[in-house]
C-alpha cells in the first residue's frame, strides 16, 4: 500500500479534511474498525508522542498508528455501518488536544536546544503524554541551573522566533548540523528554531515560539548520571498553575500565613505535632506507672498468677515499658493490650520464666491473631472481645 499523504506536515493548523478510503478492516476490538485513507490530518503515535484525537464521519477516532508510512485510524463504529472502500470521508481533529501537543512539543525543542547549546547535553528520551512531556538528558543540572534554563526558555518564547519545518534536499541536509533523536529515514524533516535549535522531527509544531505561551519545568528526577525533566507548556501549563495555585491558597488559609510562607506554616504544624506526640507519650508513661501500682495492689490481694492489662490507647513505646515494669514482678505471663473490642487490640505478651508463645498460640488458634516473637516477648494484633480473651487466658494451666 502507498504511504499515506501526511497533510499535517504542511498544514498543522488545518482541522478538517476529506479523504478517500483505501481500506477498512475490523479492528482488534468489537465495535472498532481500522481505516486507511489516502491522506490524513491525524498525526499518528510516533517518536514518543501520543496520537491526535478527533472524529471521522462523526465517529470517534480512538487511535492512530503508522507502519511503513501507512497510517491506520482506529474508529469506534459501534453498531454503525463501516465506510465503503473508495468512498470519501470527512475527518476532523480535536484542535484543543492538537494545539496543546504543538505547544508542548515546540517547548520541548526549545529546552532541548538550550540544554544542548549551553551544557552540551543530548536528549536521550522523550515522551509526550496528553498532559506533560518528559525529557531525559545525558547530564544533570542543579536547582539554580534549572531555574535559569526555564527563564532562558521563556525568553525564547517572548522573542517570538519563527519555527521552520522543511525537508532539505540531500546536499543541503549533508551540510546541516542538527540534533537527531533516533535513526531517521531517507526523507529527513528538519525543524529549526532560529538561533536556538535544529532537530530532525516528524511532529506538528507551532509557527512561532510566542505561541508556546509558557514553558514550565514542573519536576526533576535525578538518576545516576542522567536527569528526567517533566515539563508542561502553553494552555496545559496554565491549567497546571491554576490547580497548584488553588492548593497553595488553601494551605495559606489553613496556616494563616501569606502564600509565600505557606511551607513555613506546614513546618510549624509538623513541629507542633511532634511536640504533642512527645507530651502524650510522657503523660501515658506517668499514667502507666500509676496503673502499675493499682494492679500490683490488686494482684497481691488476689494472688494472681498472670496479669492481663487492657487500655484503650497506648503509645507502642509506653506499651512495652508497661510490660517491662510488670515483668519486674513475679507473674507467670504478663500482657498489655491497647485498643478496643470493636477495633481490635495490639498486644505485647512477655514472660521471664515461661514461653510467651504458649498464650500467643492460644490467641492464634482461638481468635485468629497475627504476630509472633521470641519466648521472652511476643507482639501482634487480635480482633476479639476483652471478656472472651480473659476467659481464654483463664484456661491456661
Ligand atoms: Zn519536534
Ligand 1 centroid–CA 118 distance in Å is 20
pLDDT of residue 170: 86
pLDDT band (50, 70, 90) for residue 183: low
What DSSP letter does each residue of 6-38 carry, written as one string? EHHHH-TT--EEEEEEEEEEE-SSTTEEEEEES
Q: What is the pLDDT of residues 294-333, one digit of tens each?
A: 988 887 767 778 999 999 989 999 999 999 999 999 899 9
Ligand 1 centroid–CA 106 distance in Å is 6
Q: What is the pLDDT of residues 80-93, one digit of tens each?
A: 777 889 999 999 99
Length of the chain: 397
Whether the model pTM is above 0.75: yes
Query: Is the predicted pLDDT of residue 259 greater than 60, yes or no?
Result: yes
Chain-centroid distance, C-alpha 132: 12
pLDDT of residue 395: 87
What DSSP letter does each residue of 179-194 carry, written as one string? EESS---SS--EEEET
**Which residues lie near ion ligand 1 (Cβ < 5 Å)?**
105, 201, 203
pLDDT of residue 184: 58
The end-to-end CA distance of the chain, in Å, is 87
Query: Strands, E, within 154-291: which ranges?
Result: 163-166, 179-180, 190-193, 197-200, 215-222, 227-233
Ligand 1 centroid–CA 202 distance in Å is 6
> Which range has the worst mean pLDDT, 53-62, 178-187, 249-258?
178-187
Query: Residue for cell digits 474498525?
Result: 33
pLDDT band (50, 70, 90) for residue 253: very high
Ligand 1 centroid–CA 208 distance in Å is 13
Query: Is the predicted pLDDT of residue 284 greater than 80, yes or no?
Result: yes
pLDDT of residue 182: 54
CA distance 294 to 320: 18
Domains parsed from the chain with CATH numbers = 5-93 (2.40.30.130), 99-241 (3.30.980.10), 300-394 (3.10.310.40)
pLDDT of residue 171: 87
Ligand 1 centroid–CA 148 distance in Å is 23
CB 322 within 8 A of CB 281: no
Picking from 211, 181, 216, the residue whose alpha carbon sits closest to that of residue 197 is: 181
Mean pLDDT of the chain: 92
Query: Is the predicted pLDDT of residue 185 greater than 90, yes or no?
Result: no
Ligand 1 centroid–CA 203 distance in Å is 5
CA distance 106 to 48: 14
Ligand 1 centroid–CA 156 distance in Å is 16
Q: What is the pLDDT of residues 124-153, one digit of tens each?
A: 888 988 889 999 999 999 999 999 999 999
Ligand 1 centroid–CA 2 distance in Å is 25
Tell me which of 49 and 187 has the higher pLDDT: 49
Ligand 1 centroid–CA 105 distance in Å is 6
Torsion sign across C-alpha atoms 91, 96, 100, 102: positive
**Average pLDDT for 188-194:** 93
Ligand 1 centroid–CA 206 distance in Å is 10
Inter-CA distances, 118 with 91, 121, 191, 197, 286, Å: 43, 8, 19, 11, 63
pLDDT band (50, 70, 90) for residue 181: low
Amino acid at each position: 500500500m502507498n504511504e499515506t499523504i501526511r497533510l499535517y506536515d504542511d498544514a498543522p493548523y488545518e482541522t478538517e479534511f476529506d479523504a478517500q478510503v483505501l481500506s477498512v478492516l475490523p479492528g482488534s476490538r468489537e465495535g472498532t474498525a481500522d481505516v486507511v485513507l489516502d491522506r490524513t490530518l491525524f498525526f499518528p503515535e510516533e517518536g514518543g508522542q501520543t496520537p491526535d484525537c478527533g472524529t471521522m464521519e462523526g465517529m470517534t477516532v480512538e487511535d492512530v498508528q503508522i507502519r511503513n508510512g501507512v497510517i491506520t485510524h482506529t474508529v469506534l463504529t459501534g453498531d454503525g455501518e463501516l465506510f465503503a472502500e473508495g468512498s470519501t470521508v470527512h475527518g476532523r481533529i480535536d484542535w484543543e488536544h492538537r494545539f496543546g501537543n504543538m505547544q508542548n512539543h515546540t517547548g520541548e525543542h526549545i529546552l532541548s536546544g538550550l540544554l544542548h547549546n549551553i551544557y552540551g547535553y543530548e536528549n536521550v528520551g522523550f515522551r509526550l503524554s496528553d498532559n506533560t512531556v518528559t525529557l531525559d538528558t545525558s547530564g544533570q543540572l542543579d536547582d539554580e541551573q534549572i531555574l535559569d534554563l526555564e527563564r532562558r526558555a521563556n525568553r525564547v518564547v517572548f522573542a517570538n522566533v519563527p519555527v521552520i519545518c522543511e525537508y532539505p534536499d540531500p546536499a543541503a541536509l549533508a551540510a546541516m548540523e542538527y540534533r537527531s533523536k533516533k535513526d531517521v529515514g531517507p526523507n529527513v524533516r528538519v525543524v529549526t528554531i532560529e538561533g536556538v535549535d535544529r532537530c530532525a522531527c516528524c511532529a506538528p509544531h507551532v509557527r512561532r515560539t510566542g505561541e508556546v505561551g509558557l514553558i514550565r519545568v514542573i519536576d526533576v528526577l535525578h538518576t545516576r548520571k542522567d536527569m528526567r525533566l517533566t515539563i508542561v507548556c502553553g494552555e496545559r501549563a496554565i491549567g497546571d498553575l491554576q490547580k497548584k495555585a488553588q492548593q497553595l491558597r488553601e494551605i495559606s488559609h489553613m496556616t494563616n500565613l501569606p502564600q509565600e510562607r505557606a511551607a513555613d506554616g506546614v513546618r510549624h504544624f509538623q513541629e507542633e505535632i511532634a511536640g504533642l506526640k512527645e507530651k502524650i507519650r510522657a503523660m501515658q508513661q506517668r499514667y502507666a506507672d500509676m496503673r502499675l501500682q493499682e494492679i500490683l495492689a490488686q494482684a497481691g490481694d488476689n494472688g494472681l498468677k498472670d496479669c492481663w492489662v487492657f487500655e484503650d490507647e497506648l503509645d507502642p513505646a509506653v506499651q512495652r515499658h508497661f510490660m517491662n515494669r510488670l515483668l519486674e514482678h513475679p507473674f507467670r505471663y504478663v500482657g498489655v493490650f491497647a485498643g478496643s473490642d470493636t477495633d481490635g487490640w495490639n498486644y505485647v505478651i512477655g514472660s521471664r520464666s515461661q514461653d510467651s508463645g504458649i498464650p500467643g498460640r492460644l490467641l492464634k488458634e482461638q481468635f485468629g491473631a497475627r504476630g509472633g516473637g521470641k519466648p521472652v516477648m511476643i507482639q501482634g494484633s487480635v480482633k476479639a472481645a476483652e471478656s472472651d480473651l480473659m476467659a481464654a487466658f483463664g484456661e491456661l494451666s
